[in-house]
Chain A
Amino acid sequence: MAYTILDGHKTLLNFPRGAEGTWTLDSYRTRGGYSALEAVLREGRYTPAGLLDQVKKSGLRGRGGAGFPTGLKWSFLAKQRPAYLVCNADESEPGTFKDRVILEENPHQLVEGMILSLFALEAEHGYVYVRGEYVHPQKRLDAAIREAYEAGYLGEDVLGAGRAYHITLHSGAGAYICGEETGLINSLEGRKGQPRLKPPFPAVIGVFNKPTIVNNVETLASVCSIAEFGGEAYAQWRNESGKSTGTKLFSVSGHVERPGVYEVPMGYPFKRLLEEECGGMLNGMPLKALIVGGSSVPVVDAETAMKIDLDYESCAAHGTLLGSGGVIVMGEGTCMVRSLEVLLRFYHHESCGQCTPCREGTGWIHRIVRRVEAGQGTMVDLDELYRIADNMEGKTICTLADAAAWPAKSHLRVFRQEFERHVHEGRCPFGGRFPDPFHLGPQA
């Protein structure tokens, strides 16, 4: 299989993994760091509009999960100034830990990507909203921002180009909903982290009522490569069969020999990721199920999983979504009811409580699945579960309800027999240790 970008060429994880000091400015510079920024600011490689055009040509899509074309999003930014760039580093989706690697091991690439993006957007100030639990990544990023200020990449007159760029690190308090861009904006402003009604979109009215672009860590870090190699070159990095461009980080967890974060070109076959990068299934056990893009995307069975190429189009064709690239691999012997119960417990806990269907629905389906897992379910419950999940979908301000409904519906659809076995046998056939539901309050 041929790739335009050579196997092993990395743009985000372009350093020996596990090496000391990759997060420092010196290390980043030895890898060519900040050369793109210097070329843009000192040599005038691009005008702001020119760089925006390169981002459009690159075909870069938002890496946070929704996959919205980045260049298009940027072009919506209202003309009013000041405008803000916000980096969404509230990586909270179960199974997703790719941004963490950038923050911890390569934070300068995010800083450079943000400065380039600020240049393209003709804005001055960027915020990085990092999830509260990411204490260590925050320390690394904070140090990197300091280093960048000292080296003159940030400040009132960046690289003598007469432009001011600033980045502020903001720590979240640990809420999944603050990864939703308007929830993040509310939280950044000091309000309760709850998504806002749209329209108006943040590109028109965002942080502090000013036009705002919110992008994921990986998206902004990828802007460095676009500025370095050009949008058209970036667009060539892909599997010949697919349309998605660039490289993508996948955080692989579950029953594999070598879980971790891997950077591969878009369209890389899942089978190859599993067998080569991850060293195959743990202890050679057979694959049972795959969640390819973080906990919210529909689960697929082993057969489908092996056909998936890791890009937006192939995932969609196989009934799931590329999402954030949080690959959860489940081997034979995993209880899929238990799997769903764990996921729904998360969504029940994290629903912000604003919209009716999500607030009441996430708890409701969680309680039903918990009961089924404990062997107390009925066949009616299974139909109800699907119906309720379906009712939650597409009716709320943000997509958290959808994110809870999709795994529920897909688990039921793909592994219906397993749910029925729980009902018929009156227990978890996988011996899932789970507390008796009658000793649990509904809010457990």
Chain B
Amino acid sequence: MSEIKTVTLTIDGRQVTVPAGTSVLEASKVIGAEVPHFCYHPGLPVDGNCRMCIVEIDGARRPPVSCATSCADGMVVRTDTAAVKAIRASVMEFLLVNHPIDCPICDKAGECMLQDYYMQHDRKRSELRDEKVHKPRLVKFSDRIVFNGERCILCTRCVRFTENVTRTHELGIVNRGDRALVEVAGGGSLHNRYQDNVADICPVGALTKTDFRFKKRVWFLKHTDSICPGCSRGCNVVLDHDKNEVVRVMPRFRAEVNGHWMCDEGRDIHKRIGVDRLLAPRVKLPGREGGATPEEALEAVAEVLGEARKTPDRLAAIASSWGTNEEAFLFAKLFGETLRTPHMDVKSDSDEGYPEDDVLHTADHNPNRAGVVAQGVVPNDKKGGLGLAGILDACRRGDIQCLVVWGPGLSGHLPGGESELALVLSKVARVVYLGWKDDPVARLAHVALPTPAWAEKDGSYTNCDGIKSTSVRALDPPPGVRGEIEVLADLQARLKGRSYGRTFRELAAKTGAPLPPRRPAPALRQPSLYRHASGVARP
């Protein structure tokens, strides 16, 4: 690897060494004295229009904007002098002069950069005597995005997003001076698949998501690091939730996975959590028909598997591609090691969603196929193990006595869909289903155990590039529903297998999952509106 050239400069009397080419603004973040800014966004080209990030640099003819100034050796930067503060205050004044200051009805309040900086820099009442400039206030840019021209500070982040990230060029600034306005080119609507990002990066409340408008004040939200299960990119996200309900999904910066962005499909996947949910176990075994407690159902599964281990060749296990690495690890150990079946494979749980594109979305609509395979859920070739298609064929022939299906979507692998599924499963003596959805398999299975959705459990996922990300439990699962780790560990114990651990943290060491930082428990809800709600460093 070539040596990265670095430069050393002084910011506010503190020395900082950064790679050559780093902007002064980025360097200021390193020492924790981030220069206030609006138009700068690390994921977008520099535009330098807001003039908020002006700093003093010794030797410069006039104070430059720190976003567009590269660090140089021996540079002396001052970000906190009276002159710099006065410039910032004046820029704030210019931004606010025509701003409606309608924070009480603005969805951005609480995480608005304009609001934050106003509180930090001035906090004076308006003394404006002239009428403000009026602009259109309720423009539907698309079904997902609503634009308020009066709140807009024309930082062009959204314009640069459509120009450089999606390269769809829908947005532009029309008109000049204080009549300038963001508009969709040609009067159409936003049509890219990443449009919710423009609302995220909007530093003010000009662009809001129809999905989040007027739903929740941001300071009521709790924030949990998660991943998006929509495709094998596995975008790192933050679930913003309250009262055991996800209210919105925001991208979480991870340079090697998703950068700053995520697609719109990922924003909506949380809405599937409550749909077609398998909420209680079902047992249809002779003598055990009808409702069962979770404990009884687990006992039934153990019984079925105990029977099946006598003929491991006639046992087959199909794993979920939405399962976590830790669950897949236990799944592989339970069926491969303890029950010794050679027939193990992973299926696609989902094939619905966006097609592949060149921004983030991949063709595989499952988050962890690679990880499940890597944990050993593969056919045992030495013993003539069958893959997914082979297992289904064997079922059709009546060669499989016990089939374990983890996760929904098996019917998607059969050309005849659900009717063929019923036919195939009718040839299998015992079908066990584990999963969070009330899948056709769940209705046909002899034992069906409900499990939590991804937002309701801890676990790591391996994306299409082999990068692991950890998702933290954000919601409580429905009452009585136990996680796969617990269920699999319990079965392992009942079937006298080796113990590998019963919690995510114990198993993470074995799967190499990155452990999530322990967020400090939120202190008392702070009354100030201007505290950034998430407490997350914001770009």
A248 surroundings in chain B (CB, below 8 A): none
The answer to whether B49 touches A355 (Cβ under 8 A) is yes
B91 surroundings in chain A (CB, below 8 A): 356-357, 395
Asked whether any CB of chain B lies closer than 8 Å to the CB of A348, the reply is yes
The answer to whether A391 touches B94 (Cβ under 8 A) is yes
A356 surroundings in chain B (CB, below 8 A): 49-52, 91, 94-95, 153-154
Asked whether any CB of chain A lies closer than 8 Å to the CB of B519, the reply is no
The answer to whether A192 touches B173 (Cβ under 8 A) is yes
B173 surroundings in chain A (CB, below 8 A): 192, 353
Q: What is the CB-to-nearest-CB distance from B514 to chain A, in angstroms, rounded to a whole number?
A: 38
The answer to whether B95 touches A351 (Cβ under 8 A) is no
The answer to whether A353 touches B153 (Cβ under 8 A) is no
The answer to whether A197 touches B46 (Cβ under 8 A) is yes
The answer to whether B178 touches A359 (Cβ under 8 A) is yes
Asked whether any CB of chain B lies closer than 8 Å to the CB of A396, the reply is yes
Q: Which A-chain residue is minimally distant from B96 (CB atoms)?
A: A360
Question: Quick check: which of B131-139, B384-392, B455-463, B520-528 contacts chain A, the rest being far away?
Answer: B131-139
Asked whether any CB of chain B lies closer than 8 Å to the CB of A442, the reply is yes
The answer to whether A359 touches B180 (Cβ under 8 A) is yes
B62 surroundings in chain A (CB, below 8 A): 394
A397 surroundings in chain B (CB, below 8 A): 48-49
Asked whether any CB of chain A lies closer than 8 Å to the CB of B265, the reply is no
Asked whether any CB of chain B lies closer than 8 Å to the CB of A426, the reply is no
The answer to whether A353 touches B48 (Cβ under 8 A) is no
Most buried by B among A356, A371, A395, A396: A356
Which of B47, B90, B132, B175 is within 8 Å of A353, CB to CB? Answer: B175
A386 surroundings in chain B (CB, below 8 A): none
The answer to whether B95 touches A395 (Cβ under 8 A) is no
Q: What is the CB-to-nearest-CB distance from A340 to chain B, in angstroms, rounded to a whole number?
A: 16
Asked whether any CB of chain A lies closer than 8 Å to the CB of B124, the reply is no
Asked whether any CB of chain B lies closer than 8 Å to the CB of A409, the reply is no
For the complex, give the distance between the alpha carbons of A352 and B51 in Å.
Answer: 15
For the complex, give the distance between the alpha carbons of A355 and B49 in Å.
Answer: 4
A350 surroundings in chain B (CB, below 8 A): 176-177
The answer to whether A364 touches B97 (Cβ under 8 A) is yes
The answer to whether A442 touches B46 (Cβ under 8 A) is no
B180 surroundings in chain A (CB, below 8 A): 353, 359
A173-195: which have CB < 8 Å to B? 175, 177, 192
The answer to whether B130 touches A359 (Cβ under 8 A) is no
Asked whether any CB of chain A lies closer than 8 Å to the CB of B315, the reply is no
Q: What is the CB-to-nearest-CB distance from B158 to chain A, in angstroms, rounded to a whole number?
A: 15
Q: What is the CB-to-nearest-CB distance from A16 to chain B, in angstroms, rounded to a whole number?
A: 42
Which of A192, A349, A371, A395 is within 8 Å of B51, CB to CB? Answer: A395
B50 surroundings in chain A (CB, below 8 A): 355-356
For the complex, give the distance between the alpha carbons of A349 and B179 in Å.
Answer: 9
Q: Which B-chain residue is minimally distant from A352 (CB atoms)?
A: B176
Asked whether any CB of chain A lies closer than 8 Å to the CB of B467, the reply is no
Asked whether any CB of chain B lies closer than 8 Å to the CB of A429, the reply is no
B82-102: which have CB < 8 Å to A? 87, 90-91, 93-95, 97-98
Tell me whether A348 and B93 are in contact in the complex, defined as CB-CB below 8 angstroms, given that A197-B68, A395-B51, A396-B51 are known contacts. no
Most buried by A among B46, B52, B65: B65
A361 surroundings in chain B (CB, below 8 A): 94
The answer to whether B177 touches A363 (Cβ under 8 A) is yes
The answer to whether B130 touches A371 (Cβ under 8 A) is yes
Most buried by B among A354, A358, A443: A354
B176 surroundings in chain A (CB, below 8 A): 175, 177, 349-353
Count of chain A residues with a beta carbon within 8 Å of a chain B beta carbon:
37
For the complex, give the distance between the alpha carbons of A246 and B79 in Å.
Answer: 44
For the complex, give the distance between the alpha carbons of A391 and B91 in Å.
Answer: 8
Q: What is the CB-to-nearest-CB distance from A54 to chain B, in angstroms, rounded to a whole number?
A: 29
A365-405: which have CB < 8 Å to B? 367-368, 371, 378, 380-381, 384, 391-392, 394-397
Asked whether any CB of chain B lies closer than 8 Å to the CB of A222, the reply is no
Chain B, residues 156-190, CB within 8 Å of chain A (1/0): the string is 00000000000000001101111110000000000
Tell me whether A351 and B46 are in contact in the complex, defined as CB-CB below 8 angstroms, given that A395-B87, A442-B132 are known contacts. no
The answer to whether B87 touches A352 (Cβ under 8 A) is no
Most buried by A among B98, B127, B176: B176
Q: What is the CB-to-nearest-CB distance from A67 to chain B, in angstroms, rounded to a whole number?
A: 16
Q: Which B-chain residue is minimally distant from A397 (CB atoms)?
A: B48
Chain B, residues 45-76, CB within 8 Å of chain A (1/0): the string is 01111111010000000110100100000000
Tell me whether A360 and B95 are in contact in the complex, defined as CB-CB below 8 angstroms, given that A349-B177, A394-B62 are known contacts. yes
Asked whether any CB of chain A lies closer than 8 Å to the CB of B123, the reply is no
Which of B54, B127, B178 is within 8 Å of A363, CB to CB? Answer: B178
Which of A197, A359, A391 is within 8 Å of B90, CB to CB? Answer: A391
Q: What is the CB-to-nearest-CB distance from B301 to chain A, in angstroms, rounded to a whole number?
A: 64
The answer to whether A362 touches B177 (Cβ under 8 A) is yes
A353 surroundings in chain B (CB, below 8 A): 154, 173, 175-180
Tell me whether A363 and B133 are in contact in the complex, defined as CB-CB below 8 angstroms, given that A351-B177, A357-B94, A395-B54 are known contacts. yes
Most buried by A among B52, B98, B175, B179: B179
B132-152: which have CB < 8 Å to A? 132-134
For the complex, give the distance between the alpha carbons of A360 and B172 in Å.
Answer: 19
A207-223: which have CB < 8 Å to B? none
Q: What is the CB-to-nearest-CB distance from B4 to chain A, in angstroms, rounded to a whole number?
A: 23
For the complex, give the distance between the alpha carbons of A196 and B435 in Å.
Answer: 56
Q: What is the CB-to-nearest-CB distance from B160 to chain A, in angstroms, rounded to a whole number?
A: 13
Asked whether any CB of chain A lies closer than 8 Å to the CB of B129, the reply is yes
For the complex, give the distance between the alpha carbons of A356 and B54 in Å.
Answer: 12
Tell me whether A368 and B51 are in contact in the complex, defined as CB-CB below 8 angstroms, given that A353-B176, A359-B180 are known contacts. no
Tell me whether A360 and B46 are in contact in the complex, defined as CB-CB below 8 angstroms, given that A192-B173, A351-B178, A367-B130 are known contacts. no
The answer to whether B177 touches A359 (Cβ under 8 A) is yes
Q: What is the CB-to-nearest-CB distance from B191 to chain A, in angstroms, rounded to a whole number?
A: 22
B46 surroundings in chain A (CB, below 8 A): 197
A359 surroundings in chain B (CB, below 8 A): 94, 154, 177-178, 180
B97 surroundings in chain A (CB, below 8 A): 360, 364
Q: What is the CB-to-nearest-CB distance from A229 to chain B, in angstroms, rounded to a whole number?
A: 35
A-B contact sample (13 more), CB < 8 A, given A353-B177, A355-B49, A395-B63: A177-B176, A197-B48, A197-B65, A350-B176, A353-B173, A353-B180, A356-B50, A356-B154, A357-B91, A360-B95, A362-B177, A391-B94, A395-B90
By Cβ-Cβ distance, the 10 closest A-B pairs, closest first, are A353-B180, A391-B90, A351-B177, A363-B178, A360-B94, A367-B130, A197-B48, A353-B176, A354-B49, A353-B177
25 contacting pairs across A/B (C-beta < 8 A): A197-B46, A349-B177, A350-B176, A352-B177, A353-B176, A353-B178, A353-B180, A354-B154, A355-B50, A355-B51, A356-B52, A359-B154, A359-B177, A359-B178, A360-B97, A361-B94, A363-B177, A367-B130, A371-B130, A391-B93, A392-B94, A394-B62, A395-B87, A396-B51, A442-B131
